[in-house]
Amino acid sequence: MHQGQLVFAQLMRHLPLTTFRRCVARYDGEHKVKRFSCLDQYLCMAFAQLTYRESLRDIEASLRAQSAKLYHLGIRGNVARNTLANANAVRDWRIYASFAERLIGIARGLYAEEPFGVDLAETVYALDATTIDLCLSVFPWAPFRSTKAAIKLHTLLDLRGNIPSFIHISDGKMHEVHALDLLLPEAGAYYVMDRGYLDFQRLYRLHEAGSFFVTRAKSNLKAERRYSHPVDRASGLICDQTVILSVYYSHKGFPVPLRRIKFRDPKTGKRLVFLTNQFALPALSIADLYRCRWQVELFFEYPTLCTPSDVIESQRSTDLRQRLVGQFGGFGWLPLAPRPFCIKSTARWRTPEWLEAA
């Protein structure tokens, strides 16, 4: 008979509980709490995330079936559906937001030297957003269409370790490009985005901050070629040009030269046009950087993130940030486990033609 710790307890052992208690004390999370503590709530939601529970009742049934082992899992309170729903509804979501930020900071330090496919010493981020559909009758405060509700999750993913460094939850009607207004640009870092973020005035702010961006050009882009650099056409590159935007308002928003790279995928024959303000890297490295952007798509497909909304619902209309932050808190400590103890994502792996990612 096995006498060691349960697997769930071994994972939770890597949590900085002192930091968690400080977060709880900062926002007075234990006020008038007698039995079901904030840590119990966090552990229940982490258990639901890892075991793909589909409802609050499913969480309750699973944990109560092994009630004799709850103490060894670290759960001290009694797990009941109403208790868990009430805790999700009334407790301050900033407790778990602060804890998730701390976990992300620790995890990013562990993966600072992790290779990601391009030989670069600088930090590389992938920026994207995904829409999470919700039931309009359950979440009337998040209108999106006439028949459904939704929220939008804006994520800045550090490609070294695929760890989110910035997350913003907005209503479903907010356009992706407005997320650029919320970022604090990091000098020397690379921001890889799809065409939804092509706003020259906002991209110029990144340029002035000393950051680099890589994105795709739209089909109606108007630009004047100033210089053409030599390329190796056998690698799929068509041209590498220095261009100036010719449309008045585009040029007013981004008055300095841009680099335009045209690339043809040897497998599919699809042609893409990249825009960047980085002139030092080889043209093929710019294409490889955009290929790495697919990691943020896989992050959105991570099944413990995309659990049904029943898992994160409460018994009243309230701010969804509380449960989503709890889920990201659960995601944040996965990279904290010892490196030999590898936890792999079970997301449905696809090998798409990477240039179709955008």
Mean pLDDT of 323-335: 51
Residue 121 pLDDT level (bands cut at 50, 70, 90): confident
pTM of the predicted protein model = 0.77
Q: Other CB atoms closer than 10 Å to residue 52's CB: what's the count?
A: 13
pLDDT of residue 268: 82
The string of pLDDT tens digits covering residues 211-255 is 999 999 998 999 999 999 999 888 889 999 999 999 999 999 999
Q: What percent of the chain has pLDDT over 70?
A: 83
pLDDT of residue 118: 81
Residue 344 pLDDT level (bands cut at 50, 70, 90): very low
Residue 353 pLDDT level (bands cut at 50, 70, 90): very low
Higher pLDDT: 9 or 304? It is 9
Domain residue ranges of the chain, discontinuous segments joined by +? 7-102+316-336, 117-299
**Cα gap 217→260, rounded to integer Å:** 8
Is 342's pLDDT higher than 50? no
Q: What percent of the chain has pLDDT over 90?
A: 35
CATH architecture designation of domain 117-299: Alpha-Beta Complex (3.90)
pLDDT of residue 332: 53
The string of pLDDT tens digits covering residues 162-206 is 888 888 888 888 899 999 999 999 999 999 999 999 999 999 999
Is 2's pLDDT higher than 60? no
Mean pLDDT of 322-344: 46
pLDDT of residue 116: 78
The string of pLDDT tens digits covering residues 270-328 is 899 999 999 999 999 999 999 888 888 888 876 444 333 333 333 333 344 444 544 55
Mean pLDDT of 334-343: 41
Is 74's pLDDT higher than 60? yes
Residue 358 pLDDT level (bands cut at 50, 70, 90): very low
Residues near 41 by beta carbon (within 8 Å), at least 6 away in sequence: 84, 87, 88, 91, 326
pLDDT of residue 320: 47
pLDDT of residue 345: 32
Q: Are strands 190-192 and 124-134 parallel, antiparallel or unpaired?
A: parallel
**What phi and psi values does residue 125 have, to the nearest 5 degrees?**
-115, 145
Mean pLDDT of 81-90: 88
pLDDT of residue 276: 95
Q: What is the mean pLDDT of the chain?
A: 81
pLDDT of residue 340: 32
Residue 335 pLDDT level (bands cut at 50, 70, 90): low
pLDDT of residue 12: 86
Mean pLDDT of 22-50: 89
Higher pLDDT: 313 or 138? It is 138
Chain centroid to Cα 168, Å, comes to: 9
User: For residues 271 and 258, is the Cβ–Cβ distance under 8 A?
Assistant: no
Is 56's pLDDT higher than 80? yes
> Lowest mean pLDDT: which of 37-41, 76-80, 315-319?
315-319
Higher pLDDT: 94 or 4? It is 94
pLDDT of residue 208: 95
**Cα gap 151→171, rounded to integer Å:** 5
Q: Other CB atoms closer than 10 Å to residue 320's CB: what's the count?
A: 21
